[in-house]
Structure 1
Amino acid sequence: MTLLTFRFAPSPNGELHLGHAYSALLNQGLAMHAGGRLLLRVEDIDTTRCTPAFEAGMLADLKWLGLAWQEPVRRQSEHFAEYRVVLERLIREELVYPAFMSRGEIRAFIADTQTRGRDWPRDPDGVPLYPPADKALPMKERNRRIAENAPFAWRLDVGAAMKRLGGDLVWAEFNDETLSATHSVVASPQDWGDVIVARRDIPTSYHLAVVMDDALQCVSHVVRGRDLFSATGVQRLLQDLLGLPQPAYFHHRLILGPDGRKLSKSLRDTGLATLRDAGASPDDIRHMVGL
């Protein structure tokens, strides 16, 4: 019988908050109920914002909550060589291309288009899609810019990727926290345009690393926040392109702040360490997140 595997995968770029507590405790509870295992993954490919101090604080918070995971912890920053191998495969298969436009150039391109009466498409997060200009660059020009150390990112040619696969992409989404039944969701990776899969100096991105890690760690159940629901379409596309197994997904409810928005580390919402220092107990945290 295959051992069911769950994972909690935070980024050490700030303090964990109640939303992280809910996701971590939910994953642990589901893993225990299923007789499976829980893994901890440190998603630290952003080597500028992710720090050892934040990681130490994160681990302390999780242990205080009572989270127990199977060792070893996988740190993405220790596996860049593995990601690079897969990136080079995508380059050889001409499924990615170097994208050179800066944020300012993107804004100018879109503004010029909109002055001519055309609305520019946006992704599910409201960010304008990347313009198609770089995709049409001749190989000689691409190589010249790279040789001259022009900044760039590797973007997935979603149109070419979808054409390569043919047919609909779907994933199995659990209906609720009991994980007793699923329904099929049709993936729409094209909604995100040509997403970044790697940068010049970091041979991966969130999307590429997460599908590789889930496969390498034999993750069977991905339980994470509803804010990542639409992004699953991009990850399903990468899984099929790379011949990786597909876990089943459950995108759980979000813990919201008093103003109704989801909690965020970047906005410095109250962290677990602050709540602990104020006298809160792990049981208090469970009550606060509805567990």
Structure 2
Amino acid sequence: MGSNGPRLEGLHSSVRGGLEVTKQLRELMRLLEAKEYQSRMEGVGRLLEHCKARPELITANLVQVFDAFTPRLQDSNKKVNQWALESLAKMIPLLKESLHPMLLSIIIAVADNLNSKNAGIYAAAVTALDAMIESLDNLCLLQAFAGRVRFLSGRAVLDITERLSVLVASVYPQKPQAVERHVLPVLWCLLDNMIGNGVLPGRAGNVRTVVRRLSRSLREQMGSRLQDLAAGQPQQVLKTQRHGQRGTDSKTTGSSCPFQLGYRHI
């Protein structure tokens, strides 16, 4: 009987610890989903503290916790909305790869804030995006960003496309097929739908600069293969590619941007 004492004591301690964790999670969820915005603010802050002090508590219950937290990234209260985005940027380097099961829903929520007219919310969303690129698997991000950009409009198209250019440079050396599979369709779609002044009708303002950067990033990694693959695309894509190649080769243009978009007014 005596030999079982330490074992039973450890079991009781484990049970108490489990009950305490359950209690903490229940309180966290209550705050995150509360009607009062002050309570939701407190819930976001408490989640951030848990990520700092006990990240294993959050990662072990990630889906449950982030199902309650992710809506705060689009909260109807601007203070909660911004605070959640700012906190997410701090959580990302703490949780890192553990976030992957919830990555798509997080990206959708963050990207929607890129069209916010509130400067603080927009800045917080941009910071969260950059934290993802810094701390998370870039291949997963490239796939998610490329899949999402087609559903975006406004400034969000510009910001996500610009970050795709960064991801191309980091992913292509290890996973060239993934870049060609996921990013090239984005480039073809943008080139095919742009009108002569660089505007993407009905979806965004002038996308000329970010599409040029994406083209250049792909060309730097792929070389002449990009031009070869463009040959199988619709006439509009070929037109911009041909103009861009002439602009690159011409000594009179002074262009330093390979595969530059070829519209006359660009």
Q: TM-score range by the shorter chain?
A: under 0.3
Length-normalised TM-score, structure 1: 0.17
Length-normalised TM-score, structure 2: 0.18
